[in-house]
Amino acid sequence: MRALQESGLLDYEVGKRCYRVRVTEKGIRLLRLQNKMEEIAPINYLKIKNSWKFTIMVRY
């Protein structure tokens, strides 16, 4: 979470018993961009022996 906060995508506060997490406007823009990219070229994720691999399907 620290990397996401440092890049300005998430904002979070540490409370006594929990974290309070908020997606920033920059994070929302990134999520919208990812959704648009997913519509154009879906990504299929496969879990193979404790590692994630992915393939991109391009529609013509």
What torsion, rounded to 10 degrees, do the Cα atoms 5, 27, 30, 2 define? 10
In tens, the pLDDT along 24-54 reads 999 999 989 988 888 888 776 665 566 655 5
Q: What is the pLDDT of residue 53?
A: 58
Query: Taken in order 34, 37, 39, 42, is the CA torsion positive or negative?
Result: negative
Please give the residue that has the higher pLDDT: either 5 or 15.
5
d(CA 58, CA 46): 17
Q: Is the pLDDT of residue 22 over 80?
A: yes
Name the phi and psi angles at 8, rounded to 5. 85, 15
Q: Is the pLDDT of residue 4 over 90?
A: no
pTM assigned to the model: 0.59
Alpha carbon distances (Å) from 11 to 8, 27, 34, 54: 7, 10, 19, 28
